[in-house]
Chains A and B, each alone.
Chain A
Amino acid sequence: MVSDSFAIRTEDLRRVFRAKRREAKGEKREVVALDGVSFSVDRGELFGVLGPNGAGKTTTIKILATLLSPTSGRAWVAGLDVTTDSKAVRHHIGMVSGGETSGYGLLTIEENLWMFSQFYGIETNVARKRIQELLAVVGLADRSRTKIYHLSTGMRQKMNFVRGFLTEPEILFLDEPTLGLDVQTAHTLRGFVSGWLAEHRDRTILLTTHAMHEADELCSRVAIIDKGRILACDAPGVLKRELQRDAIFRLRIADLGDARAAVGAQPGVSRFTQTRSDDGLNVDAILTSDGALTGVLGSVQAAGGRLLSLEKREPTLEDVFLHVVGHGFDDEAREGGSE
Chain B
Amino acid sequence: MKGPSAWTVFWRTVIGRAYPRIIGAQREKSWVFFEIFLPLLSVTAYVFIYRAVQAPPEFIGFVVLGGAMSAYWLNVLWSMASQLYWEKETGNLELYIVAPTSRMAILLGMALGGVFQTTLRAVAIIAIGTLLFHVPMAATSVPILLGVFVTTLVALYGMGMLLSSLFLLFGREAWHFSNLLQEPVSLVSGFYFPVRALGQVVAAAASILPITLGLDAMRQLLFPAMLGDLRFLSPLVELGILSGLAVVFLFLAHRALAFFETLARREGRLSVRGQ
- CB neighbours (8 Å) of A95 from chain B are 94-95, 98
Q: A94-B98, A111-B23 are in contact. Are A69 and B265 (CB under 8 A)?
A: yes
Partner of B100, one of A87, A114, A116: A87
Judged by DSSP, the binding face of B is helix
CB distance from A131 to the nearest CB of B (A): 13
Is the CB of B101 closer than 8 A to any CB of chain A? yes
CB distance from B27 to the nearest CB of A (A): 5
Whether B24 pairs with A111 at a CB distance below 8 angstroms is yes
CB distance from B260 to the nearest CB of A (A): 13
List CB contacts (< 8 Å) of B1-36 with chain A.
3-5, 8-9, 12-13, 15-17, 19-20, 23-25, 27-28
Whether A115 pairs with B99 at a CB distance below 8 angstroms is no
Whether B97 pairs with A66 at a CB distance below 8 angstroms is yes
- CB neighbours (8 Å) of B19 from chain A are 107, 111, 114-115
Whether B92 pairs with A119 at a CB distance below 8 angstroms is no
- CB neighbours (8 Å) of A69 from chain B are 262, 265-266
Q: A67-B265, A68-B265, A121-B12 are in contact. Are A91 and B100 (CB under 8 A)?
A: yes
Whether B265 pairs with A103 at a CB distance below 8 angstroms is no
**Contact pattern, A 141-181, Cβ under 8 Å of B = 1, otherwise 0:** 00000010000000000000001000000000000000000
Report how far A104 CA is from B100 CA in the complex, Å.
20
- CB neighbours (8 Å) of B271 from chain A are 62, 67-68
Whether B28 pairs with A106 at a CB distance below 8 angstroms is yes
Whether B20 pairs with A67 at a CB distance below 8 angstroms is no
Report how far A121 CA is from B9 CA in the complex, Å.
4
Is the CB of A11 closer than 8 A to any CB of chain B? no
Is the CB of B96 closer than 8 A to any CB of chain A? yes
**Contact pattern, B 72-112, Cβ under 8 Å of A = 1, otherwise 0:** 00000000000000000011101111111100001000000
Whether A120 pairs with B98 at a CB distance below 8 angstroms is no
Count of residues in A whose CB is under 8 Å from the partner chain = 36
Is the CB of B154 closer than 8 A to any CB of chain A? no
Whether A67 pairs with B97 at a CB distance below 8 angstroms is yes
CB distance from A34 to the nearest CB of B (A): 12
Q: A17-B268, A68-B271 are in contact. Are A116 and B15 (CB under 8 A)?
A: no
Report how far A62 CA is from B98 CA in the complex, Å.
10
CB distance from A58 to the nearest CB of B (A): 9
**Contact pattern, B 213-252, Cβ under 8 Å of A = 1, otherwise 0:** 0000000000000000000000000000000000000000
- CB neighbours (8 Å) of A117 from chain B are 16
- CB neighbours (8 Å) of A65 from chain B are 94, 98
Is the CB of B174 closer than 8 A to any CB of chain A? no
- CB neighbours (8 Å) of A103 from chain B are 90, 92
Q: Which residue of B lies closest to A118 (CB)?
A: B16
Is the CB of A100 closer than 8 A to any CB of chain B? yes
- 6 more CB-based (< 8 A) A-B contacts, given A67-B98, A114-B19: A67-B94, A69-B262, A100-B91, A106-B20, A106-B24, A119-B16
Chain A residues packing against B (C-beta within 8 Å): 15, 17, 62, 65-69, 86-87, 90-91, 93-95, 97, 100-104, 106-107, 111, 114-123, 147, 163
- A sample of 29 cross-chain residue pairs with beta-carbon separation below 8 angstroms, ordered by A number, consists of A15-B268, A62-B268, A67-B97, A68-B271, A87-B100, A90-B98, A91-B100, A95-B98, A97-B91, A102-B94, A102-B95, A103-B92, A106-B25, A106-B28, A107-B23, A114-B19, A115-B16, A117-B16, A118-B15, A118-B16, A118-B17, A119-B17, A119-B101, A120-B99, A121-B5, A121-B12, A122-B4, A122-B12, A147-B27
Chain B residues packing against A (C-beta within 8 Å): 3-5, 8-9, 12-13, 15-17, 19-20, 23-25, 27-28, 90-92, 94-101, 106, 262, 265-266, 268, 270-271
